[in-house]
Amino acid sequence: MSTTDTWIANNFNDEVRFLQQLVRIPTDTPPGNNAPHADRTAELLKELGFTVEKHPAPLWAVQAAGMQSVTNLVVRHRFSTYGPTVALNAHGDVVPPGDGWTHDPYGAEIVDGKLYGRAAAVSKSDFATYTFALLALKNSGLPLKGAVELHFTYDEEFGGELGPGWLLREAITRPKFLIAAGFSYQVVTAHNGCLQLEVTLNGLASHAAYPSTGIDALQAANKMLTALYAHNDVLKTRLSAVPGITHPYLNVGRIEGGSNTNVVPGKVVMKLDRRMIPEEDATQVEAELRALIDAAVAQSPGVTLDIKRLLLAHSMQPLPGAERLISALQKHAEDVFGEPIPTSGTPLYTDVRLYTAHGVPAAIYGAGPRTVLESNAKRADEHLVLDDLKRATQVIARTLADLLKP
């Protein structure tokens, strides 16, 4: 057992209590009023001896994104005046708890070695993982060079542009490597991209008794839906070579239209989500999708079309220089967990893409089970196995020591 392993084991009850306090403060996004959680997290970090920087995103930008408040936290600990900076990023925002819970979603209750609560697994758990890994290094007495930064951000559910995106654009940080919140049994090195569009079809409302006097936007939307869902058969043939990622997919997540039962619908609004595998080019994907929509709606004379991009999240692939980070995580995870820890991709999109877009080699690794479904992330009774939290903290501390050794 390494020096850092021993420190983490001896202080693990404090780590669990730290996580419980984070889970007990809601960060439902929407509505996205997350500054209170950041303020409390900053207090807890200061109690642990850290200097904490608060970087609030501009209110106008927060409101434009559909949230209420976003305050990003940065902790910097320098072991020497030279050497690489390794950043650790986790997000505190989370989807609302929803129905079906058998435990209080903000109770942080521990039952049979599992801590229950919204964001217990994704990703307040890694606020704890990364904080206590850094504490273990500080208390290890190891001769280290370089620095570690903690980046705790609050808009991942809305795309990350006001979290890591803001920190990077404003040059508040520029690390050499990044590790971001993930699960313990795999090192994720690639993820899908995502394009979201809002499509509005405008026809002409009229009385249902005189349908010929109107232009039915819903009938046009039906033709468009048929074309979109048929396109999924094409997308299933475009296979990714990245383990853990299969093929692109198109989802229609929301439809609004019409005004009453006896009125020909004059307007329909749809929101689409197009997942992109790492091998795809986002510009080409958007052009193809817009052309498909244009062609389908053109079959309905009189219907006008407006397409607005809601989100463009690029995919993530390993950058040159990531090999050292990835191999260190795999080595130490295998040693701690006693089994090979593979690299893989994930069909999700994450904030990590924002770091790699700025040239920062990155990997995704943190506390959690083998799959998202096992943790009930974004579902009722989300939970974290505490043994996974302890061992992930040990892996991160060992990896940091490896990357910062003289």
DSSP line for 139-190: TT-----SEEEEEEES-GGGTSTTTHHHHHHTTS---SEEEES--TT-EEEE
Please tell me the distance from the alpha carbon of residue 76 to that of residue 33, in angstroms, as a whole number: 25
Please tell me the distance from the alpha carbon of residue 405 to that of residue 143, in angstroms, as a whole number: 7
> Is the model's pLDDT at 205 over the cut of 80?
yes
Q: pLDDT tens digits, residue range 372-395? A: 878 888 899 999 999 999 999 999
- Give the H or E element holding residue 88: strand 85-91
- What pLDDT score was predicted for residue 253? 94
Residue 289's closest CA among 361, 193, 383? 193
Please tell me the distance from the alpha carbon of residue 362 to that of residue 371, in angstroms, as a whole number: 20
How many other β-carbons are positioned within 10 Å of the β-carbon of residue 272?
A: 20
373: burial class by Cβ within 10 Å (0-12, 13-18, 19+)? exposed
> Is the model's pLDDT at 317 over the cut of 80?
yes
Q: pLDDT tens digits, residue range 91-136? A: 999 999 999 999 999 999 999 999 999 999 999 999 999 999 999 9
φ and ψ at residue 177, rounded to 5 degrees: -135, 160
DSSP class per residue in 244-311: T----EEEEEEEEE-S-TTEE--EEEEEEEEEE-TTS-HHHHHHHHHHHHHHHHTTSTT-EEEEEEEE
SS3 111: strand
Q: At what angle do helices 3-10 and 386-403 cross, to 10 degrees?
A: 150
Residue 187's closest CA among 318, 90, 83? 318
Alpha helices in 189-216, H assignment, sequence order = none
- What pLDDT score was predicted for residue 267? 98
> Is the model's pLDDT at 1 over the cut of 80?
no
Q: What is the mean pLDDT of the chain?
A: 96
Please tell me the distance from the alpha carbon of residue 215 to that of residue 12, in angstroms, as a whole number: 65
Mean pLDDT of 394-401: 98
Please tell me the distance from the alpha carbon of residue 267 to that of residue 255, in angstroms, as a whole number: 11
> Is the model's pLDDT at 303 over the cut of 90?
yes
Please tell me the distance from the alpha carbon of residue 12 to that of residue 367, in angstroms, as a whole number: 14
SS3 403: helix
Q: How confident is the model at residue 71 (pLDDT cuts 50, 70, 90)?
A: very high
- What pLDDT score was predicted for residue 378? 85
> Is the model's pLDDT at 310 over the cut of 80?
yes
Mean pLDDT of 254-267: 96
* Cα angle value 371/375/378 (rounded, 5°): 105
171: burial class by Cβ within 10 Å (0-12, 13-18, 19+)? exposed
- What pLDDT score was predicted for residue 211? 94
- What pLDDT score was predicted for residue 256? 97
Residue 316 per-residue DSSP state: B
42 has which bridge partners? none
The dihedral built from the CA positions of residue 128, 133, 139 and 145, taken in this order, carries a sign that is: negative
- What pLDDT score was predicted for residue 229? 96
Mean pLDDT of 143-147: 97
Residue 103 per-residue DSSP state: S
Q: pLDDT tens digits, residue range 161-185? A: 999 999 999 999 999 999 999 999 9
Q: How confident is the model at residue 371 (pLDDT cuts 50, 70, 90)?
A: confident
φ and ψ at residue 189, rounded to 5 degrees: -120, -5
- What pLDDT score was predicted for residue 129? 98
Contacts of residue 222, defined as CB under 8 A and 6 or more positions apart, other chains included, come to none
